[in-house]
A and B are shown apart, each in its own frame.
Chain A
């Protein structure tokens, strides 16, 4: 292991597909490979959580190991030699995908996840034989009664990402494994409605699901993922500043998605960020300033008229009652720059220090 003289940081050297690379102790084979741009398929891996090792897709060969090892969990060692693709590895990955498809409903044309499904991607990439052992689609009774989370356990591949993100990241535990072996399904405790088991509707499970078992219910049968425009943006709700991708179609917001690794939130979002953006499409939204007429009713107006009215009244109040009669409340939904300008306005123009902010409460 080498030690960098300036930083004291220790590095180790390994070989990946014949290429010598440096890594930091504690790196997994998967992180090193992704850094190098080497594609390793994963279904159960989610960087927001501990490695799980259940899907067996990320198997790679390590010289001297007894058999193929899961790249998601295997920590690199100095002098290690890794082969990420070989006939044997291709065959094993293909085998796993074929097994998963052998009891998958294959209802891709009507699946919300079509086009955004890892299983679909890998089946294509690994040129799978669809039914070497016949097709045995699962037939579990479906409970699908949550307003935001659409659920179809027959498409579930039991990767456990929803179970783990709810338990390990959210600290709730709405999902768990039920039954054993081939009959194992992911379910709520006692098959209760999701809303009755402590669900906070964050949709983290939806973001973790690599297939179409858990999807956005509000955009079900809406525009397909490949038809939408994707804009990375910052959530306007609170001051945390989570990043997400707004999927829009013809200037209409369709859904909000995140990826692990995205933004300071690392792909995590709360209920507001994930499911609370529908207001942008609302016909009730104010699109022009409203000014009260002589009868006291609000009527649409122009910015010029509205700002004039504000100016007149501010001046009048300041003259009659002084600057201390004003107080300004800023919003966390505004940017830092907006809020800066707002307090500058209150202090410099109005002349008061009565400025506060909703997120300070």
Chain B
């Protein structure tokens, strides 16, 4: 192809000048920073400087072979329960060794430097992962297959050369030199990639529709939806913070495929770090001619604008998102016309989620077949899940589609916290469903999960144990969607409120015998009559909870009992005088001083003062606190 001659292949402009003896990588994702990443960073900076031997150098500016060190802030690598995570790579005596420390605090840094970096003997008790030895956390990565998260936690997201060293922008280069737009969407279609934002629509097909749509003035738009809002989901944030260039590259490939010269990336304002890193990355990509006018000298223009959201969950809905970009109130509009026909500013528009787009550069370099080899039946490739709640290793896990929920929760997640009994998993965020133990062998697959009443959704998994009340959890998720309704259509605006009132009264012990039927009736009608998917899926947590845990609803209504002890109005605590040893542990734990009793004498709970928090119940080692 003649065009291919002049297209410049993206290359690393500032190669590493340094191969240091010691490399320290610190998780500086939002999770890592929240856990104290900045303090750990400072401690390493000071501590390494004090060693004289391992002065910290800048790997792309300073030249140093051997005895020096580098410090890198990376994105999230997923094992968020163990933050701050620190990787220490040493190259000594011709041997390279990488060790990951978990739950690092500044106090631990001196010991790591002294024993491991200087002394070359890792501090074994703090190791969570190691290139040389098995640890109890090996399963976390063993079941994963990281394509989307391939760079997260490994490279410095603020350094474009780090991305280029990993083969960054080569997918876009291949597209611009070897492929026609039609070949691009055909390849994406062949990969089997489906929308990771929740709906699971085939991405290649979406691109095809937008590519074939006619625009009145030739303008088309390509949007990346980074308005991730499901409670408990943070995979898009991790990708944006940890590998922003992959998203830009995916957008540019898509822009080429549909014939768009302008792209928007819509990121919620609650992700300031992601926005900061996107801005840095965009500037770097523009400077290198990888985004913007005449990309790589190919003649293809693709400009990207970063648009910050203003705090509305509903703006994750594609039509509301486009209204928001246009400067209007974020309210979904009727479809058809679909965005592919008439989207942003009434032009053909394609909109994909962050995770979907992060798959694209991988597909373009590794090929559609490699992607389609992974997965299960109609769900190809991998999916990132945010596993949170009552689980040992909460965090982000990317697995091939088709793994079972049990494998994700018990192998990768390490099972339920404190060895408590598993009760349910809320799968797919507030639009998803609550699944019981009996369905844990369901595969993470669009079709299989839909059959249960839950959805893959954005990939949130909130694990519940026996201390979680199902009614209260359903109420929590419905309260979220009820509050985030845009208010446009009647079923969602008023219907979810009426449902919430019923759930409120059930958890307060005021449930009426007809309440379950009222809930089911409301839920069915709201699903059928709502304008957009927010209302159309809002009743799902309640419907699945009633489907799989009906007896708990009935207990609340008829017996005024909450077996989990989570509904304060239905729970009372008392002390069993036989078991009580008078150790005062419960009294010390009580935040409102409701427990009285001398040492070594039986204690008493004043139920008028008690706020039913359950602190005494958790504290007692003699099974003396009774919950009813």
Interface residues, chain A, with chain B CB atoms under 8 Å away:
51-56, 59, 67-68, 70, 73, 75, 88, 91-92, 95-96, 99-100, 102-103, 132-134, 136, 157-158, 160, 176-177, 179-184
Contact = CB atoms under 8 A, between A and B. Distances in A.
Interface string B327-348: 0010101101000000000000
Interface stretch (B68-76, B457-465, B491-499): B491-499
A160 B333 CA distance: 13
B628 interface: no
24 contacts: A51-B334, A53-B334, A54-B488, A54-B490, A56-B490, A68-B529, A70-B334, A91-B525, A92-B528, A95-B525, A95-B529, A96-B491, A99-B495, A100-B490, A102-B494, A133-B498, A158-B487, A177-B487, A179-B487, A180-B312, A181-B484, A181-B485, A181-B487, A182-B482
B502 interface: yes
Interface string B491-521: 1011111100110000000000000001000
Contacts of B497: 181-182
B566 interface: no
B12 interface: no
Contacts of A176: 329
Contacts of A75: 336
Given A92-B525, A96-B491, A56 B531 contact: yes
B489 interface: yes
A37 to B, nearest CB: 25
Closest 5 CB pairs of A and B: A184-B487, A181-B485, A53-B334, A99-B494, A133-B498
A95 B524 CA distance: 11
Given A53-B333, A181-B482, A181-B496, 9 more contacts: A55-B490, A73-B334, A95-B525, A96-B490, A96-B529, A103-B494, A158-B488, A180-B485, A180-B487
Nearest to A88: B528
B501 A56 contact: no
Interface size class of B (residues with CB under 8 A): 20 to 34
B493 A184 contact: yes
Contacts of A54: 488-490, 531
A99 B521 CA distance: 13
B530 interface: yes
Interface of B: 312, 329, 331, 333-334, 336, 482-491, 493-498, 501-502, 518, 522, 525, 528-531
Contacts of B487: 158, 177, 179-184
Given A56-B490, A95-B491, A158-B493, A181 B483 contact: yes
Q: Is the interface of B mostly helix, strand, loop or mixed?
A: helix
Contacts of A180: 312, 483-487
Nearest to A104: B494
B34 to A, nearest CB: 27
Contacts of A177: 329, 331, 487
A95 B525 CA distance: 7
A133 B512 CA distance: 11
Contact of B529 (A59, A133, A179): A59
A181 B498 contact: no
A95 B487 CA distance: 17
A176 B495 CA distance: 22
**Secondary structure class of chain A's binding surface, majority of residues:** loop
B139 to A, nearest CB: 41
A181 B336 CA distance: 24
A53 B528 contact: no
Contact of A56 (B329, B483, B489, B522): B489
Contacts of B483: 180-181
A55 B484 contact: no
Nearest to B332: A53
Contacts of B489: 53-56
A59 B487 CA distance: 18
B507 to A, nearest CB: 17
A202 to B, nearest CB: 23
Contacts of B485: 180-182
Contacts of A158: 487-488, 490, 493
Contacts of B493: 158, 181-182, 184
A102 B498 contact: yes
Contacts of A70: 334
A68 B531 CA distance: 10
A68 B528 contact: yes
Contact of B518 (A68, A73, A103, A133): A133
A91 to B, nearest CB: 7
Nearest to A133: B498
Contacts of B482: 181-182
Nearest to B313: A180
Q: Name which of B336, B483, B485, B497 has the most chain A CB atoms within 10 A of its CB.
A: B497
A29 B277 CA distance: 49
In this complex, which of A54, A59, A102, A160 has the most chain B Cβ atoms within 10 angstroms of its Cβ? A54
Nearest to A97: B490
B486 A181 contact: yes
A75 B335 CA distance: 11
Contact of B502 (A56, A59, A96, A133): A133
Contacts of A157: 490
B450 to A, nearest CB: 13
A334 B498 CA distance: 57
Most chain A CB within a 10 A radius of its CB, from B484, B522, B525: B525
Nearest to A94: B525
Contacts of B486: 180-181, 184
A177 to B, nearest CB: 6
Contacts of B333: 53
Given A70-B334, A100-B494, A134 B329 contact: no
A132 B312 CA distance: 31
A181 B482 CA distance: 7
A297 B589 CA distance: 99
Contacts of A68: 528-529
A182 to B, nearest CB: 4
A70 B332 CA distance: 14
A67 B528 contact: yes
A56 B491 contact: yes
A96 to B, nearest CB: 5
A91 B494 CA distance: 16
B490 A99 contact: yes
A318 B486 CA distance: 74
A56 B331 CA distance: 15
Contacts of B334: 51-53, 70, 73
A49 to B, nearest CB: 13
A92 B535 CA distance: 14
Contact of A53 (B329, B496, B531): B531
Nearest to A55: B490
Nearest to A100: B490
B312 A134 contact: no
A95 B522 CA distance: 8
A52 B501 CA distance: 28
Which of B486, B491, B494, B502 gathers most chain A CB within 10 Å?
B494
Contacts of B488: 54, 158, 160
A294 B286 CA distance: 92
